[in-house]
Structure 1
Amino acid sequence: MDEQRVRGGPPQWWRHGPPWWDRWGEGERAPHWPWRSTVVVTVFVLAGSNFAAHGQEGERAALDPFARVLLLVAGALLLWRKRYPVAVVFGTAGAVMVYLGAGYPYGPVLFTVALACFSAIVAGHRRAAWAAMGTLWVGHVLVAHWLYQWLPPSGDSAASWGEELVVATWVVAIAAVSELFRVRREQWARERAERAEAARRRADEERLRIAQELHDVLAHSISVINVQAGVGLALLDSDPEQARTALTTIKAQSKEALGEVRQVLDTLRAPGDAPRAPAPGLDRLPELVEQAASAGLTVDVEGEPPRLAPGTDLAAFRIVQEALTNVVRHSGSRHARVHFAYDAGVLRLRVDDDGPATGADAGGSGNGLAGMRERAAALGGTIEAGPRPDGGFRVLAVLPLSASAGR
């Protein structure tokens, strides 16, 4: 049983639209011919009118070939209701008006007008549908209270105004139900558009996250490899053993980078699957310090970080990694300090170097700093990066200990 119905609320299909409603929308963009429904309705109208004729024998005129042609026309017009809803609603109203004016039995022929009105209103032609239904009712009033004297069946008397009230109620009910479905359809369309937009936004955020991961992994690893390659080339002839150490570092760093890149790419190949390896966190900070040392950078770690949520742990690790990579690439200092402090529910992470800058991108590239800021903002934190008053460069990250999405 539907969960919404169990709780006493509206059924799920009423809130989000039945599955076939999407096909209705597709039909509007590329109208198709509703053969099956038209045939079913036409057969129902013809058969039901025969049954109604027996029940109203002596009160209304008997069905003759002309009446059957009118019934067939009213039903067949519905074949065009998706392509030409205005013409169909007026055409069926006209055919039914002639049918009733000729004194033929009341019956399911009115269903053709109801379906044509529904299609026109749902398609957005509200005034045309109301005008057609109003015209049908006015025509019925004229026939029932004035023109009946000259129309079959002979000896017929004027209809009561109670019958006219019933017909008017029937017309308004059809139009009102159609309006209700039109409103719900617009709501379903808006909800579908919102869900599609949310899905696109999630996809964009995931692409941004993956781009940040790849940037952080590759920028750090390639910076270390570049430094070690320079050391190896410089010492290849004078100190082969030191050159061998540099090449060993390059091999280890490239292997680690390939592993992390493969882990990121695995999420693209199998979205939704659990990663094969845990995401890196501050427990791997000693590895960063060791890699920085192999690139000629001494790193002092001050303070102990608290136990962090996985998302905050990964962001803090990547921020330290990017900051140290920027020191290796853009600073003349061979010494950096990583400081951790936490209070009032926030982690304060600071990375300092003594400078001076060795290129135009002092402190790091725009992409690296932007990536750090986006990581912090996603958790509800902040990043400040810039020159220190006494020289050098500082990156200060403030991250909440209990991660709360900032988006």
Structure 2
Amino acid sequence: MSRQMLPGALLQEPGSKRTARDWLVDVLMTLIALTVGVLVYTESEQAHSDFEDLIDLTLGVTSLIALWWRRRWPGAIGILITAASAFSAFSAGAALIALFNVALRGTRRQIITVTAVGIAGGIVYTVMYPTEDDVPLAIELAFAVLITLVVVPWGLFTRTQRDLVHTERDRAKKAEAEQLAHVEAAREAERRRIAGEMHDVLAHRLSLLSVHAGALEFRPDATPAEISEAAGVIRATATEALRDLRDVIGVLRTSDGVTAPPQPTLDAIPALVEESRAAGMHVRARIEASGGEVMVGRTAYRVVQEGLTNARKHAPAAAVEVTVGPSDASLVVEVVSRKSALAPEAGPGGSGLIGLTERVALAGGSLEHGPNRRGDFVLRAVLPWT
């Protein structure tokens, strides 16, 4: 219902039809034009011959009908009606509406042309049909010109107000579009953050589960004690995976006011290495840094975690060397898998390494990965360190 009370042109929609307000305005304008035309015609009827009366009424009715197309062709309709008003008193009301309409919708050239025709038409009509009152002709001419010079600025003022409404509406649409884009970008960033946290936290635990489950599968001759020990490690690892999953969910709920549990940092790397050793990996570690800035420590932990996870996936029998230590104003984190080559998934196309590259960049560092001259796969991060 509210849309129907707006002008169809204001909606700015392709193929928009006349609204209820447009129909109401059309009827009202026609009634005003008819009323003014009848009053002016009655005032000057005695100065007309029968033939002039016929011409006057014919032009007046034509002008009233032409008002229907004033929105589509404001300039042409304005010239037609104002020219007709020079010879037809019955067209006077329609001429006022046409002048207002061309000021509201016409181009600058159309406004100037129709204004000039309106002034000329008023002068011609006043000279042809002067009133019988004792009013000087000069005053009548001035009044005829003044009417045009009042109606046109009124239409221009209304046009300015309508343009302001258009501008505010466009701004509102632009702001709404920007807000939607911002919300969508925030959602996409949140999805990426969820994917990164899930990969970083769970990939390590699940790879441990895979190693122990595989050992049980390919060791049918294992003793009950060995089976019991492997089952215990699987249970403990599954428990840790569930705890890590709860940690991730806690991180994602921080926007709702839930305090997230502390994330692992630099000091948790030794425990991470021990977990891998317990899973049967051959890991040598040299960790010569502790504490530090939280984001840097957390990123260093993720680098070591990703390196151990990839080594476990693609080279489970290879020896792994983990080095974490300061170098000048940087912290160097390096995971070297002593193997000639790794599966393609461990290369630059891996989603884990892509996410890790972004994480390291956010911390202000750089990440390199790939085989060295000896064929060992090296994952090396350089992070800011003070």
Instruction: From the superposition, tell whether residues 254 and 173 of structure 1 become closer, same or farther in structure 2 (CA, over 3 Å).
Output: same
Q: Which moved more, 1:247-256 or 1:355-364?
A: 355-364
- Name the counterpart of 1:369: 353
State the partner residue of 2:255: 272
Pick aligned residue for 1:217 from 180, 194, 201: 201
Amino acid at match of 1:316: A
Cα shift readout 1:108-144 (whole Å, capped 9, x = no counterpart): 9589738963xxxxxxxxxx55565445423322222
Is the alpha carbon distance of 1:168 and 1:114 closer, same or farther for their aligned partners in structure 2, counting shifts above 3 Å?
Answer: closer
Percentage of identical aligned residues: 25
- C-alpha contact 2:99 2:114 (8 A) present in aligned 1: no
CA distance in 2, matches of 1:27, 1:272: 40
Residue in structure 2 matching 1:302, options 287, 307, 314: 287
What TM-score do the two structures reach when normalised by structure 2?
Answer: 0.68
Q: Displacement, 1:87?
A: 1.5
Q: Distance in 2 between matches of 1:262 and 1:376?
A: 24
- Please point out which of 120, 138, 141 is paired with 1:142: 120
- CA distance in 1 between counterparts of 2:72 and 2:190 reads 49
**Where does residue 228 of structure 1 map in the other structure?**
212
Distance change (3 Å), C-alpha of 1:323 and 1:169 = same
Instruction: Find the partner of 1:392 among 367, 376, 380.
Output: 376
State the one-letter code of the partner of 1:272: S
Could you report, residue by residue, the CA deviation over 1:290-326 in whole angstroms, capped at 9, with x for unpaired residues?
321232222514122443245x554333222111111
Say which one has the larger Rg. 2
Aligned to 2:51: none
Q: Which residue of 2 aligns with 1:10?
A: none
Q: Does 1:354 align with 2:338?
A: yes
Contact 2:336 2:376 in 1 (8 A): yes
What letter matches 2:211 in structure 1?
V
The one of 113, 117, 123 equivalent to 2:101 is 113
Is the alpha carbon distance of 1:201 and 1:42 closer, same or farther for their aligned partners in structure 2, counting shifts above 3 Å?
A: same
Using the TM superposition, give the Cα deviation of residue 400 of structure 1 relative to its aligned residue in structure 2, in angstroms: 4.3
Q: Alignment partner of 2:333: what SS?
A: strand
* Structure 2 residue aligned with 1:405: none
Query: Would you say 1:159 and 2:137 are equivalent positions?
Result: no
Cα 1:30/1:196, change in 2 over 3 Å = farther
Are 1:333 and 2:318 an aligned pair?
A: yes
What displacement does 1:382 show? 1.8
Deviation at 1:261, TM superposition (A): 3.9
Task: Give the corresponding residue for 2:239.
Answer: 255
Q: Which residue of 1 aligns with 2:54?
A: none
Give the Cα separation in 2 of the matches to 1:25 and 1:300.
72
One-letter amino acid of the counterpart of residue 335, structure 1: V
My pick for the range that moved more, 227-236 or 170-179, is 170-179
2: CA distance between counterparts of 1:370 and 1:293?
26
> Structure 2 regions of 5+ residues with no counterpart?
45-56
SS in 1 for 2:141: coil
1:299 and 1:335 in contact (8 A); partners too: yes
Instruction: Give the match for residue 192 of structure 2.
Output: 208
Cα distance, 1:397 vs structure 2: 1.8
Q: 1:27-80, CA deviations, whole angstroms, 9 ceiling, x for partnerless residues?
A: 626846532576479669969998xx8xxx99x969xx9999989996xx6xxx
Note the 1:75-90 alignment, pairs <5 A. Answer: 86-87=71-72, 89=74
Structure 1, residues 149-168: CA drift from partner, whole Å, max 9, x if none?
Answer: 34687777323666655555
Instruction: Report Cα offsets for 1:308-348 as digits up to 9, x if no partner.
Output: 245x554333222111111212234233213132654x543
Aligned to 2:263, the other structure's residue is in SS state coil
**Following the alignment from structure 1 to structure 2, what is the Cα–Cα distance between the partners of residues 47 and 250?**
90
Match of 1:35 in 2: 20
CA contact (8 A) 1:302 1:340 kept: yes
- Give the drift of 1:279: 5.5
Q: Using the TM superposition, give the Cα deviation of residue 383 of structure 1 relative to its aligned residue in structure 2, in angstroms.
A: 1.0
**1:227 CA displacement:** 0.9
C-alpha contact 1:145 1:158 (8 A) present in aligned 2: yes
Q: C-alpha deviations, 1:206-249, integer Å up to 9, x for none?
A: 22222222233343222211111122334453332232222222
The answer to whether the 8 A contact 2:10-2:166 is kept is: no
| Structure 1 portions without partners, runs of 5+ | 1-19, 78-83, 118-127, 403-407
